[in-house]
Structures are given as C-alpha cells and as structure tokens.
Amino acid sequence: MRYLPLSDTNRREMLGAIGAASVDELFRDLPKAALASAKFALPNTASEIEVERALSTMAAKNLNCGAAPSFLGAGNYRHHTPASMDYLIQRGEFLTAYTPYQPEISQGTLQAIFEFQTQVALITGMEIANASMYDGATACAEAVAMACRVTKRSQALVSGNVHPHYRDTTATTMKFLDVGVECLAPDPYGVEDLIGRITDEYACVVVQTPGFFGHLKDYTALADACHKAGALLVVCVTEPVSLGLITPPGRIGADIVVGEGQSLAGPMSFGGPGVGLFATREKFLRQMPGRLCGETTDEDGRRGWVLTLSTREQHIRREKATSNICTNSGLIALAFSTHMTLLGEAGFTRLAQLNHAMAVTLADKVETLPGVKLLPNAFFNEFTLALPNAAAGVVEELAKRKILGGVPVSRFYPTYPELANLLLLTATETNTAADIYALVAALKEVLS
C-alpha cells in the first residue's frame, strides 16, 4: 500500500514480539461501549482520485471568501497576500526547518525570529517581544498567568469587549492554575466601568482594542488605575493592521500586549493556523513565557543569533518553567514577518489607512438603510450594526445571494437574546466599491 507499507507478515511479527494475538487485543483495556461508539460510517477502500473527487464536492458547498464579496471578521481578517511571501516561506531551508536547537546551523531561522520579535515590539510600542505563541487566545491566557507571577496575585478581570474565544481560553487555562477569572458581560455599547471595579486583589485587567464590537478606546486612565492598585494592564489586539494607525498599546500604559498575527500571515483558512503575538516591558523579561531570540557575536567578532531565553519545561526544571507552550509558530511567524518587511513602515501605515477608509465608506452606506443602526463609538475596520431582524437569519439570506455579509454576534453569545440582532461587519483593502454596493442592495432586499 502506498501509505501503509506493512505486510501481513510484518504485522504478525510485531504482534508476536509484544505477545499480542491480534490488533484488537491491543485495545482490550478500553470499554466495549467506547469502542462501539468509535465506529464511523466510512467506505472501506477508495482510490486517491475518488477521495479527491469526494472531498472537492464537499468543499464546493462552501462559499469561498475569495470568490464572493466578503465582510467577515470577528477576530479573523482577510488581507491581500503578496505572491512573494508564499515563495519565500516555501523555500526548503525555511519550510523543512525545525526548532533551532543548534544555533551554529540555524542562523537563518534565528535571524528571521529576531526580526519578527523586533517588528512585534515596534508595532505594539513595547520594549520586548517573544518568538511567538500558538495563537492570540493562548497568548492571552499566558499573559494572565504571567501577571499572576509578577504580582503574586490570583485574580483577573476580563472586559466584555475581549473576544469570546480569548475569554474562554483564558478562563479554561486559569482554572487549572487556581486563578480566578471574572469575565464581564458583553459590552456592545462600550459603557462598562472597569476602573470602578479594580481592587488590590486583581493581578491584571484584560481589555481589547479594537474591541470585539469594533470599539476604539484610550485606556490610559485605566492603565493608571491598574498601576495604582498594583495590577497590570493586558491589551489584546486581534487585528494587527490596526496598529499601523492607532496609538500603540505600549504608549497608553499597557504592561503586556498580546494578539493574533493571522491576518498578516496568510488566508483566513476557517480560523487558522494562527500566530500568537506577545510583547511586554523589559523588566518583566524573566517572567515572559515562550522563547526569546537574541543577537550576539561569535568568537571571531561576527554578528550572530542565539536562543537567549527558553523557558519551556524541557530546558529548565519543570517547576521553574513559565509556560507549557513548547514551541513557537515558526512558519506562520515567518510569514507575518515577511509580509511586514514587504510592506515597510510607510506601507503598513498606508494599509491601515485603506482599511479604515473602506470601513467608513461601508458604514456610511449601510447606515442609510431603514431600521439599521450603527452602534456608537469610533472604529477601525470593523463595526457593529443593530438590525431590525435576527442577524443570523439575515446572514443566511445574504449567503444565498453569494455575499458573506458579516458575522452575527449570536454565533459567539447564543445565551444573550438581547444581542440576537447585532451584526459584525468588516471591510479591508480587499473589498471594492462594487462589493459594498452588492451588500447594501442585498441587505435592503433581505430586510424589506
């Protein structure tokens, strides 16, 4: 067989070596009920071409965001990917490279990581960044754990404007570290009072900008209040392109900045793979999870790179490890860094300006529709609409018209009926005036 080259003789020899009469005997310790429920209604055999045809037919049922006007967002954003980026990350020396344990033969990979760290630190306004994490949600959880180590406290306050996936991942992770996480109710109108809730029991306050509902906020006063109470301010960023236009979190007092780099690293791909961004103040360096690549010189005085800090449990005593995240998302981090390099500082700013301008145009058009209300507060490239009907049904009707018309808030908050009519809409540089016209026309028809 092409992928399973073992013969019956091979299998008999292996079973004989371990003293098992059959393959089924290897699973004898599993409950019979569990084995019965593990059966799948799949054909026994199929040729490769048959499998390709079957999967292609299934895939064709999806409405590809590249083949239709798309206004999807909610933490996963579509941007133009330069062709040169794909070429560079698929070079053999990058695509096949593994963890750079041996710096003397991993200089290219280490330098790429070093550049990635530099870029993340620059756009977030922080002093230091690590070599990436799994994704934005796990980076958020690690930030809370780090804040607890720094402050010696075990409580965290999470804003209602933080992405639900980040909130859920943080709460789940902290449960096993005996850290209490207070998640506030969703805040689509941006009226929650975080400063009034801060006490000396909190290790940190977690916020997001732009917020889940699109809000842009100045958290300078909140940062001051956190620091007076001995707590840290953690700022999440799910759309890194926004950092080309808004004030970086580091300049408004953030102690830790985390985020998702997916939108600059590749296609939406149903939510992944992602790359977690993590930046902080240099004074917290020893408590930062993950890896840090540093610059050095060799014995001949030549510039080089090494893994300066590696806090994973495999490298130091387990009780001293700051994280159980065992690697960085190396290839996706490379894609992010390559895209940022191709853009350059001016290009990054210009891209952010294009995104905001397109979103403003979209908001101006849809707000004129009868019964549609744009929720207040400044936004970057994503905002929330209040519709006269349930947003989920509207989105389904738009999809029938070959338009991906945003994300209903109820998809993330099904237990909040008061949010059922809210719709998240996003516009990026990939949208055109024709896309906006098609959405407005279709939305008017659906709502009438």
Residue keyed to tokens 């754990």: 145
What is the model's pTM?
Answer: 0.89
Residue 220: phi and psi, rounded to 5, are: -60, -50
Residue keyed to tokens 């390559």: 338
- Taking only the tens of pLDDT, the chain with its 448 residues reads 566 778 889 999 999 999 999 988 988 888 888 877 777 777 778 888 999 999 999 999 888 888 899 999 999 999 999 999 999 998 888 877 777 777 777 888 899 999 999 999 999 999 999 999 999 999 999 999 999 999 999 999 999 999 999 999 999 999 999 999 999 999 999 999 999 999 999 999 999 999 999 999 999 999 999 999 999 999 999 999 999 999 999 999 999 999 999 999 988 988 888 999 999 999 999 999 988 999 999 889 999 999 888 766 556 556 677 787 767 788 999 999 999 999 999 999 999 999 999 999 999 999 999 999 999 889 999 999 999 999 999 999 999 999 999 999 999 999 999 999 999 999 999 999 999 999 999 999 999 9
Q: Where are the domains positioned within the chain? A: 83-340, 345-447
Yes or no: say if 426 and 71 are a contact pair by the CB < 8 Å rule.
yes
Residue 169 burial (CB < 10 Å; 0-12/13-18/19+)?
buried
Q: What is the identity of the amino acid at 186? A: P
Q: Look at the alpha carbons of 428, 433, 438, 444 in this order and tell me if their dihedral is positive or negative.
A: positive
Domain 83-340 classification at class level = alpha beta
Yes or no: say if 276 and 139 are a contact pair by the CB < 8 Å rule.
yes
The CATH number of the domain covering residues in 345-447: 3.90.1150.10
